[in-house]
Amino acid sequence: MEVPRSASISLDVVLRFVDIASDALAGAREEIDALNVYPVPDGDTGTNMYLTVSAAREAIREAARDGAAELPAALAAFARGALLGARGNSGVILSEMLGAIARRIAQADEQESNAVVMAEALRQASDAAYAAVGVPVEGTMLSVLRDAADAAMERAARPGSRARDVFAVAAAAARTALARTPDQLAVLRDAGVVDAGGRGLSVILDAAEHVLTGRRPVPVTTRIGTRTIPVPHVPSAAADGQDLTADGPAYEVMYLLDAADDRVPALRERLGELGDSLVVVGGDGLWNVHVHVDDVGAAVEAGIEAGRPSRIRVTHFAEQVGEAQQRQAGRSGRRIVAVAAGPGLRRLFEEAGAVVVPGGPGRSPSAGQVLDAITGCGACEVVLLPNDAESVRVAQVAASTAESDPDLSGIRVAVIPTQAQVQGLAAVAVHEPGRAFELDVLEMTATARHARHGAVTVAARRAMTMAGPCEPGDALGVIAGDFAVVGEDLYAVATEVLERLLGGGGELVTIVAGTDDADGALATRCAGYVERRHPAVDVVVYDGGQERYPLLVSVE
């Protein structure tokens, strides 16, 4: 169904698209990884594109959970999520494409036709991607998107065109352009494959076509030499242990950069002198930088001269496959990976032996960050504790990616869908490495599920809750993720939450103080209340350091 012009394009349609695109990339991930021979055959293009879209999906889904979220704000969150979650050369380029599309849709005028808006969004995405790449190469995802955008603009110019028509021709043009990539890039022709990034982009455009038309894409074929192959074509071995550094720099360097926009041209020039496969994307003071170099220190120093780099990642191409094999061979034991919402909670999880990923309500980690923790912990069995509702799907994406990674063959990853930090604490308390994996997961899951959880926070805006209306500054009591108490006094609301949680009985109350209760006064008062009113119940108090929630509580 065509989206009404007066609404430009709806948030529901965007959410359906990100869901379908994420699932489609998940299904095509291994196929795309197998096609990956350019710019280096490190076999991760599909994974990087999937994780980038997954990060964008989680960001817009989180924004959409706020009932007051308008489409422009949700799209801004989507673009930022893609930028922050981008991985690898293909992921960084894709994040710039997605960001440009999101910005054009957000700026759409009510009088513009959806066809024109979407065609121009694809055109701007293509232009932005070409501008972001240091030396654009034909026969890659750049040329695939350019051809799709050209077809979209031509279709949108016809009277009566709709958004569905634009995406139908764009997706078809992308598939045709993908079939031509071996003719444009010798390394693809020699390997007998189409471009991996172009294939990933085609999957995304196919998803957009499917959302708007309900149709499935029509297969396309291409000729390589005397052979006719379908698009996509999956080779038996796109990279069979060949030297990854023979024709180029030895290292991939990536980092986020906080820098004024006017410092970026000089950064691009300096990094272009140091290496190749340069991509710098972003804007408004936040950038994602990707480059292949031999001098890692110089690449990082260039970032320091321009601004403040963070999340620095360095990959040595020649050692990448060997290290993965060593990690696989050397994996043993069982580890817990937990998302922690504050420094105190981090210490608690680490003391229990967990590998910690920073996150929590309002700042969910990316699937890439969780995946890094899984691959880096060295265990052959991993238990994930997401510890807030927004991070559960992130953990599931990371788990499925790890289990389907051939370099991690045999790894077992279980996600315990903990909805709160205190549920994670309860689960890790009963963790027993000596138990069989299934039994340990079962015991931790049961304990987390039986831990009734709540929290106390302060309303940031006027809203309607399950407990009635609230005003900015009101104290809010949360029970099992829902706002259940509204009041003026934090202590009164906290004790009401405790009474409701204790209504079903309990032996242990856990109270975790946040940054808004830095001196622990509220937590101590609440502990004293439980000791007076429920003398048979044990109480423990921790300094969690979490933001937004002065208190987290659980009853077991």
For the stretch 115-147, pLDDT in tens is 999 999 999 999 999 988 888 889 888 999 999
Grade residue 320 by pLDDT with cuts at 50, 70 and 90.
Answer: low
Q: In this model, does residue 326 exceed pLDDT 70?
A: no
391-397 average pLDDT score: 88
Strand order in the sheet with 286-293: 275-283, 286-293, 251-258, 308-316
> In this prediction, what percent of the chain has a pLDDT beyond 70?
88
Q: In what helix (H) or strand (E) does residue 476 lie, and over which residues does it extend?
A: strand 475-479
Question: With contact defined as beta carbons under 8 Å apart, do 148 and 197 qualify?
Answer: no
487-515 average pLDDT score: 91
**Mean pLDDT of all residues in the chain?**
84
Q: What is the pLDDT of residue 512?
A: 92
Distances (CA, A) of 92 to 50, 53, 119: 12, 11, 22
Q: Which residues contact 79 (CB under 8 A, 6 or more apart)?
A: 56, 95, 98, 99, 102, 103
- Cis peptide bond upstream of 39, omega within 30: yes
Q: What is the pLDDT of residue 282?
A: 85
228-241 average pLDDT score: 42
Q: What is the pLDDT of residue 171?
A: 92
The residues with which 286 forms a beta bridge, in sequence order, are 258, 283
4-19 average pLDDT score: 72
Grade residue 219 by pLDDT with cuts at 50, 70 and 90.
Answer: low
CA dihedral 363, 366, 367, 370 (to 10 degrees): -80
Grade residue 245 by pLDDT with cuts at 50, 70 and 90.
Answer: very low
Question: pLDDT, tens digit, for every residue of 145-189?
Answer: 999 999 999 999 998 888 889 999 999 999 999 988 988 988 888
**DSSP H helical segments within 36-70, as ranges?**
45-64
Q: Count the alpha carbons within 13 Å of 239 in the hemisphere toward its beta carbon.
A: 23
Question: With contact defined as beta carbons under 8 Å apart, do 478 and 456 qualify?
Answer: yes
**DSSP H helical segments within 404-554, as ranges?**
421-429, 437-450, 490-502, 521-533
Which residue reads 């001098």 in tokens?
A: 295
